[in-house]
Amino acid sequence: MSVGPSPRGSSDTIFLENVNFFGHHGVTKAQQTVGAWFSVDVTLTLDLTPASLSDDLRATVDYEEVARRIVEIGTKERVNLLERLAGLLAEALLREFPAREVRLRVRKLTPPMEGLHAVPGVEITRRR
Protein backbone atom coordinates (compact mmCIF):
# COMPACT_ATOMS: atom_id res chain seq x y z
CA MET A 1 0.00 0.00 0.00
CA SER A 2 1.52 3.32 -1.01
CA VAL A 3 0.96 6.59 0.74
CA GLY A 4 0.23 9.48 -1.60
CA PRO A 5 0.63 13.14 -0.91
CA SER A 6 -1.55 14.46 1.86
CA PRO A 7 -4.71 16.24 0.76
CA ARG A 8 -4.89 20.02 0.67
CA GLY A 9 -5.63 21.39 4.07
CA SER A 10 -4.27 18.34 5.84
CA SER A 11 -3.86 18.73 9.56
CA ASP A 12 -0.78 16.69 10.34
CA THR A 13 0.80 17.70 13.63
CA ILE A 14 3.89 17.25 15.72
CA PHE A 15 3.38 17.93 19.39
CA LEU A 16 5.35 18.17 22.60
CA GLU A 17 3.83 18.13 26.05
CA ASN A 18 5.30 19.35 29.33
CA VAL A 19 8.41 21.12 28.13
CA ASN A 20 9.43 22.41 31.56
CA PHE A 21 11.82 25.17 32.56
CA PHE A 22 12.49 27.52 35.45
CA GLY A 23 11.97 31.20 34.64
CA HIS A 24 11.60 34.60 36.27
CA HIS A 25 8.42 35.81 34.62
CA GLY A 26 5.74 37.75 36.42
CA VAL A 27 4.38 41.14 37.29
CA THR A 28 5.50 41.36 40.91
CA LYS A 29 9.07 41.76 42.15
CA ALA A 30 8.63 38.50 44.10
CA GLN A 31 7.73 36.58 40.93
CA GLN A 32 10.68 38.10 39.08
CA THR A 33 13.13 37.41 41.91
CA VAL A 34 12.00 34.01 43.20
CA GLY A 35 10.99 32.57 39.81
CA ALA A 36 8.72 29.65 39.05
CA TRP A 37 8.46 26.46 37.05
CA PHE A 38 6.69 26.77 33.70
CA SER A 39 5.34 24.12 31.38
CA VAL A 40 4.68 24.44 27.65
CA ASP A 41 2.65 22.20 25.37
CA VAL A 42 3.11 22.93 21.68
CA THR A 43 1.48 21.62 18.52
CA LEU A 44 2.99 22.39 15.12
CA THR A 45 0.77 21.88 12.07
CA LEU A 46 2.62 20.92 8.90
CA ASP A 47 2.60 18.35 6.12
CA LEU A 48 4.24 15.18 7.43
CA THR A 49 3.95 13.30 4.14
CA PRO A 50 7.61 13.76 3.14
CA ALA A 51 8.80 12.32 6.46
CA SER A 52 6.28 9.50 6.41
CA LEU A 53 7.55 8.47 2.98
CA SER A 54 11.27 8.98 3.49
CA ASP A 55 11.80 8.13 7.18
CA ASP A 56 14.33 10.99 7.14
CA LEU A 57 14.60 13.50 9.99
CA ARG A 58 15.54 16.23 7.50
CA ALA A 59 12.02 15.91 6.00
CA THR A 60 10.28 16.93 9.21
CA VAL A 61 10.67 19.13 12.28
CA ASP A 62 13.07 17.87 14.92
CA TYR A 63 11.04 18.10 18.12
CA GLU A 64 14.23 18.12 20.18
CA GLU A 65 15.17 21.41 18.51
CA VAL A 66 11.68 22.78 19.19
CA ALA A 67 12.02 21.89 22.89
CA ARG A 68 15.47 23.49 23.06
CA ARG A 69 14.14 26.76 21.59
CA ILE A 70 11.24 26.82 24.04
CA VAL A 71 13.59 26.36 27.00
CA GLU A 72 16.09 28.87 25.62
CA ILE A 73 13.45 31.59 25.17
CA GLY A 74 11.74 30.76 28.45
CA THR A 75 14.93 30.98 30.47
CA LYS A 76 16.72 33.88 28.75
CA GLU A 77 13.87 36.33 28.19
CA ARG A 78 11.99 37.97 31.09
CA VAL A 79 8.41 39.08 30.62
CA ASN A 80 5.56 40.11 32.86
CA LEU A 81 2.70 38.14 31.31
CA LEU A 82 2.16 34.55 30.23
CA GLU A 83 0.44 36.02 27.17
CA ARG A 84 3.68 37.76 26.14
CA LEU A 85 5.75 34.64 26.76
CA ALA A 86 3.36 32.56 24.64
CA GLY A 87 3.50 35.19 21.88
CA LEU A 88 7.31 35.23 21.86
CA LEU A 89 7.42 31.44 21.67
CA ALA A 90 4.86 31.27 18.86
CA GLU A 91 6.63 33.97 16.82
CA ALA A 92 9.99 32.22 17.14
CA LEU A 93 8.64 28.77 16.29
CA LEU A 94 6.79 30.05 13.20
CA ARG A 95 9.90 31.94 12.09
CA GLU A 96 12.34 29.07 12.66
CA PHE A 97 10.36 25.96 11.71
CA PRO A 98 8.25 25.15 8.63
CA ALA A 99 4.92 24.97 10.43
CA ARG A 100 1.71 26.50 9.05
CA GLU A 101 0.30 26.87 12.54
CA VAL A 102 1.57 26.82 16.12
CA ARG A 103 -0.68 26.21 19.11
CA LEU A 104 0.86 26.77 22.54
CA ARG A 105 -0.31 26.25 26.12
CA VAL A 106 1.89 27.97 28.67
CA ARG A 107 1.32 27.24 32.35
CA LYS A 108 2.98 28.61 35.48
CA LEU A 109 3.29 25.48 37.62
CA THR A 110 4.44 27.11 40.86
CA PRO A 111 2.84 30.55 40.99
CA PRO A 112 3.29 32.49 44.22
CA MET A 113 -0.42 33.14 44.79
CA GLU A 114 -1.03 33.60 48.49
CA GLY A 115 -3.55 31.08 49.80
CA LEU A 116 -4.49 29.83 46.32
CA HIS A 117 -3.59 26.53 44.75
CA ALA A 118 -4.08 26.72 41.00
CA VAL A 119 -2.09 26.46 37.80
CA PRO A 120 -2.70 29.52 35.62
CA GLY A 121 -2.08 29.40 31.91
CA VAL A 122 -2.81 30.72 28.46
CA GLU A 123 -3.39 29.07 25.12
CA ILE A 124 -2.73 30.79 21.80
CA THR A 125 -2.78 29.81 18.15
CA ARG A 126 -0.78 31.62 15.48
CA ARG A 127 -0.78 30.96 11.73
CA ARG A 128 1.32 32.02 8.78
**Catalytic residue list:** 108
CA distance 45 to 23: 27
Amino acid at 18: N
Three-state DSSP state, 41: strand
The residue ranges of DSSP E strands in the chain, in sequence order, are 13-23, 36-45, 101-108, 121-127
